[in-house]
Structure 1
Amino acid sequence: MTALSDLKQHLEILDDTDDAQLTRIIMSALAMLANDIGAEMPAAYEDLPPALQHALLLKATHLFWNRNPVLLDHSVVMLAMGYDDIIAPYVRQVC
């Protein structure tokens, strides 16, 4: 499966209307994931370990559904989605 097909399945999107936007979101999520881990990522989604593929889907889903800052009572909050727990074993430790 490709990143686009996996993300569309994850989001339960059945048509091609948002494909260009989803592709941009995937590219952004991959760059964010690389930054969060502190290491270069494989160029292809298919080359990521399954856990990082899932983390990428979580990040991309968040970016798709929350295109604006998430506000509750006028303060920005992060959504709990397990992302940090999934990527923790892959985070590059720099001393």
Structure 2
Amino acid sequence: MSDSPTSSVRPRTRLLAGIGAVIAILVAGLFIFVGDGTHPAADAGFVRRHGHAVVWVLLAGCLTAIALGRGPRRLPAWLGYAALAVYAVFLATVFFGLPL
């Protein structure tokens, strides 16, 4: 079994993934330049200050990989799981006050 891209992704799926990637990039930009509304303290850790933006950048990467249909076949899944893990850690820092 090869880890190279296949053409099994339908054109409509690639189009929708491309639209989703553009939206995810816009949301990431919003979180990077405007903020996410959590108003962390100045001494808050990286995850608390930038967690939302990192999640949306990973989601944009996932959707871009699907839309382009290039690269390793498992890359979108890896990026999606990474986004899920970062989001779980971000939520833990917000709700449980972890110093990350």
Same fold (TM over 0.5): no
Structure holding more helix per residue:
2
**Normalising by structure 2, what TM-score?**
0.36
**Normalising by structure 1, what TM-score?**
0.38
User: Which structure has the higher relative contact order (CA within 8 Å, separation 6+)?
Assistant: 2
Structure holding more strand per residue:
1
Larger radius of gyration: 2
